[in-house]
Amino acid sequence: MSPHVIAGAEIGPEVVHRVVGAVVAAAHGPRGAPLLETVHETVYAETQRLADEPPGPRTASDQAFIAQLKRALPRAGEHELERRVREIVAHYADEISGRFDRRVYAVATRMLPGALGRLLGGGAVEERLLLEGELEALRSAVAHGTVALVPTHVSNLDSLIMGWAIFRLGLPPFAYAAGLNLFENPLLSFFMNHLGAYTVDRKKHDPLYLATLKEYATTLLARGQHGLWFPGGTRSRSGDVEKGLKLGLLGTLPAALARSLEAGRSTGMYVVPCTLTYPLVLEASSLVADFLRREGGPHYVELDDEFARPRRWAAFFEGLRALDLRVHVRFGAPMDIVGNPVDASGRSLDPRGRPIDVRGYLSVRGHLTPDAARDAEYTREVAERVAHAYHQGTVALPTSVLAWAVFERARRDRPQADLFRLLRGIGPQTAFERAALCHDVERLIARLKVLASEGAVQLAPELVAGSAAAVIERGLKTFATYHVTPVLEPAGHRIAVGDPNLLYYYRNRLSGLPLEEATA
Amino acid sequence: MSTRVTVLGAGNWGTTLAALAGSNGHPTCVWTRSAEQAAELNGQRTNRAARLSLTVPDAVRATTDLDGALAGAELVIVALPSQAFREVMARASRSLEPEQLLVHGTKGLELGTHARMSEIVRAETAVRQLGVVAGPNLAGEIAAGLPAATVAASPFPRVVETVKGVLSSSRLRVFAARDVLGVELCGALKNVVAIAAGMADEMHIGENAKALLVTRGMLELTRLAFALGAEPETMSGLAGIGDLMVTCASPRSRNHRVGAALARGQPLDVALAELGMVAEGVWASRSARALAGRHGVELPLFEHIDRVLHEGLRPREALDALMQLEPGRDVPRLKSPKAWALPGRRPTA
């Protein structure tokens, strides 16, 4: 298959045409916002946003764009307003659109494995990044239709890892919806742009931006372009596996399928969840600090995280190499736009395995019929199933199991404390008998084995084969490698908590699983 | 425009719904397991087993062929007892298609799994455009043409609109709602409160005491439903307080009759045998207790009724125990758990 991502220039005019058409039609309808109101909303939202943006060339050009809009509005008639709406939408479409370049893709995919391999501690990337799960089903979904690959979001490394995974599996390139912040680094930006990434600015909330972004994603999918995005929106702050997913881009799937069917394409539209599990997380300290700050107090402070600090990168990869640690990239089973499983030939199946025609979900009396409320409900359902698949694909590791056991011990000592009081109360003096923890870890592993046999979670090889004592040892070694303060430290026959916030962060990877009883 | 309707179940509610759809001119098919019942509906146009005095309109046709009944239906209405629901859905799944709309009128939870009926439909079939019909709807009154209202709840506007078109008439108003979870929980759990009301009536403990039981029951129901994700506003609607009023006030309601029989000292199996129909509250109390335990919600009234039903506690003892509980706030505030609330110590409503 030739590597090709549909570039912004190819679909830009269609996107602008469709968005402007819909906005103008709505303005003339009984319930739609008048054009002037729509443009005002953009000007207002953008003015608010830009007031908080740090100075830079992008901010300056956005400010100039809004300023000339403001000047033009008082004199604008209906035609002029329509022209302005077109101008705004074209401006957004241009910002969103990717600039895929075949040559850059070819060079980058040749370089990526080597570069990633060196980063990950030398040697083959395959040894560090384990591609697991429904790989054949993913390949078959790609062959039979258009795939939306939706991974959990743990670290900024996820983008690189997913890029490598797609290449390694021999899949065609995916259009990747990436946060605008990733484009601020000139080198990353160059590759992102040319590898088929398009930008998502989470700070823009005005209806024209959201409509343009959605239309861009819909048009790509409808034309058969595979897509990749993180429905969690941002990296998980608390370390939890995401539960509440953002519905925006997932919500483009029903319309994209309908458009593709209308155009006479008989291919399917599939969602493939993917769970990333890291034994250590590069940005864990900043992420959990941010989470606690947000939940504990009213003020949100912008991150300056480890991702921006090369020395932390080096320490992180050094840790992975020294301990022979592995990142698990686990693909879930493909599902259709309402969450049904699909078979090897891409057909949707009902819960009893009978092939069904997915077209029916979008039809009334046999005809494809648009219905935004219906599609929104399908999207909620599919998001729920994706979140469920994330949990099923999560790999329980020595770090998360040990963190869980220690955290529960700490909770038991302070049963009345809420999370913040509990974390404040844990200090260097907080230590637990290794023997007692060994007992807890043993019970946890037994419980996790039952859950794994039910398909609720995956187990790392260390948990399947090793003793509880070995799991604790492995966890301690891993925790001692990378973080400035070790999460946990051996102290004679006891184990002491070094960093309570990180303890909470790593423990959270297993939250959502019914494990409380095992450590009661 | 007429809608092709299929009703699964020819009990008194299923037959009533089919008759409503038929009298509005919609071609309606009723599926029943019983060949005699189907023959009676098609021949004499009556349904004596459902204890209804109505004549079914000509637009209604009965069959025992499940696949045939479902083929081509635009709206499927399921009115089956909760404990038979999964089995029939599993059989129906081979004939249900993605385009079809489905609502159910079953007020119960599945024993053991505590699943709601819409969850069973999702788990067993390809249908996604789902809803529920519930409210203060004594089938006998509606069949007799007395004025009434019901709620059609679904997040799919087309489901609500289609149900309105099929069931609405000058005698029956159909209100719209989105909260399927809330409507289903109200429908299932109010039956437990109705059993308490039946006991109170039979024990002659006075109107004050009955109001006390019903109100505390409603608050407990709201607390549990909220913890499970329902919208508390649903409880003040027709499917909530409306249904609770009719079930608790009417000695004709099945669950009320079971409560009264227990208060007379009848064992549960005898009371159910005499009733001859399903009383959903008998099983819903089990589910309520299990769900409350899972979500850390306290339900003293539900717990005591459940103990009367299944653990041999006498109604009088249950009443005495409830009267001795330390009264807390009348209407406690409902609070959503924080994102960081630790399981096992989740703040309860």
ipTM: 0.90
Please state whether beta strands B129-134 and B148-153 pair in parallel, antiparallel, or not at all (unpaired). Answer: antiparallel
How many C-alpha atoms does B17 have within 13 Å on its Cβ side? 34
Rounded to a whole number, what is the distance in Å from the CA of B209 to chain A's nearest CA?
37
Report the pLDDT value the prediction gives residue B346, as an integer from 0 to 100: 39
Q: Give the model confidence (pLDDT) of A133-184 as tens digits.
A: 999 999 999 999 999 999 999 988 888 888 888 888 989 888 888 877 666 6
Find which of A128-132, A199-203, B58-62 is predicted with most confidence, using mean pLDDT.
B58-62
What is the number of other CB atoms lying within 10 angstroms of the CB of residue B298?
14
Cβ contacts of B90 on chain A, cutoff 8 Å: 352
What is the average per-residue pLDDT within A371-399? 96
| Residue A166 burial (CB count, 10 A) | 21
Among A236-240, A475-479, B78-82, name the one with the lowest average pLDDT. A236-240
Looking at chain A, the number of H-run helices and the number of E-run strands are: 19, 16
Of B249 and A105, more confident: B249
Cα separation, B60 vs B21, whole angstroms: 8
Residues linked to residue A198 through DSSP beta bridges, in sequence order? A177
Contact A371 B158 (CB under 8 A): yes
Q: pLDDT for B121-156, tens place per residue?
A: 999 999 999 999 999 998 999 999 999 999 999 999
Average pLDDT, chain B: 92
The string of DSSP letters for B80-131 reads: --HHHHHHHHHHHGGG--TT-EEEE------TTT---HHHHHHHHSS--EEE
Residues B183 and B132: beta-carbon distance below 8 Å: yes
Per-residue pLDDT of A12-47, as tens digits, reads: 899 999 999 999 999 988 887 889 999 999 999 999
Give residue for tokens 């399903």: B278
Between chains, do B99 and A360 touch, taking CB under 8 Å as contact? yes
What is the pTM (predicted TM-score) of this model? 0.91
Ramachandran angles phi, psi of A518, nearest 5°: -65, -20
Query: Which residues 204-243 in chain A show a CB within 8 A of chain B?
Result: 238
- Residue B125 with chain A: CB contacts under 8 Å: 350-351
Name residues whose C-beta falls within 8 Å of residue A292's C-beta, 6 or more positions apart in sequence: A420, A423, A501
User: A357-371, A378-392, B247-261: which range is least confident on average?
Assistant: B247-261
Point out which residues pair with A328 in neighbouring strands: A130, A277
Q: Is A363 on the interface with B (CB under 8 A)?
A: yes
Q: Which residues contact A13 (CB under 8 A, 6 or more apart)?
A: none
| Contact (Cβ atoms closer than 8 angstroms) between residue A379 and residue A254 | yes
Q: Are B149 and B135 in contact (CB under 8 A)?
A: yes
The three-state secondary structure class of B21 is: helix
Q: How far apart are CA B339 and CA A308, in angstroms?
A: 28
Each residue's pLDDT tens digit, B44-100: 999 998 888 889 999 999 999 999 999 999 999 999 999 899 999 999 999 999 999
Nearest to B128 among A363, A366, A378 (CB): A378
Give pLDDT, residue A299: 39
Cβ-defined contact of B126 to A371 (cutoff 8 Å): no
Residue A196 has pLDDT above 80, yes or no: no
pLDDT band at A65 (very low <50, low <70, confident <90, very high): very high
Locate A33 and state its tokens: 């916002």
In Å, the largest CA–CA distance within chain A is 80
Is B142 within 8 Å of B174 (Cβ atoms)? no
Instruction: Confirm or reject contact between A381 and chain B (CB < 8 A).
Output: yes
> Does residue B190 have an active-site annotation?
yes
Cα separation values, B327 from A294, B48, B181, Å:
37, 48, 29
Shortest alpha-carbon distance between residue B122 and chain A (Å)? 8
Q: Which residues in chain A are closer than 8 Å to B128, comparing Cβ atoms?
A: 338, 361, 377-378, 381
At residue A82, the pLDDT reads 92
A52 sits in the region (left: phi over 0; alpha: psi -120 to 50; else beta) called alpha
Judge whether A289 and A423 are in contact, CB under 8 Å. no
Nearest to B154 by CA among A493, A84, A380, A271: A380
Task: Indicate if the pLDDT at residue A420 is higher than 90.
Answer: no
Contact B128 A364 (CB under 8 A): no
B24, B47 Cβ separation under 8 angstroms: no
Per the listing, tokens 């990296």 go with A235
Give the pLDDT of residue A257: 96
Find chain B residues with C-beta within 8 A of A374's C-beta. 129, 156-158
pLDDT at A193: 62
Phi/psi-derived region of residue B344, left when phi > 0, alpha when psi is between -120 and 50, beta in every other case: left
Cα A191 from Cα B261, distance rounded (Å): 76
Q: To the nearest 10°, report the CA torsion of A470, A471, A474, A480.
A: -120
CA dist A194 and A186 (Å) reads 12
Q: Which residues of chain B are at the A interface, by a Cβ-Cβ cutoff of 8 Å? A: 74, 90, 93-94, 96-100, 123-126, 128-129, 155-158, 338-345
What's the pLDDT score for residue A356?
Answer: 96
The answer to whether residue A517 scores a pLDDT higher than 80 is no
- Residue A308 to residue A318: CA distance in whole angstroms: 17
Is residue A287 classed as helix, strand or coil in its secondary structure? helix
Q: Is the pLDDT of residue A195 over 70?
A: no
With a pLDDT cut of 70, the percent of chain A lying above it is: 89
- Mean residue pLDDT of chain A comes to 87
CA-CA distance, A252 to A264, in Å (whole number)?
19
pLDDT score for A298 = 47
A354 CB within 8 Å of a chain B CB: yes
SS3 B245: helix
The DSSP secondary-structure symbol of A517 reads: G
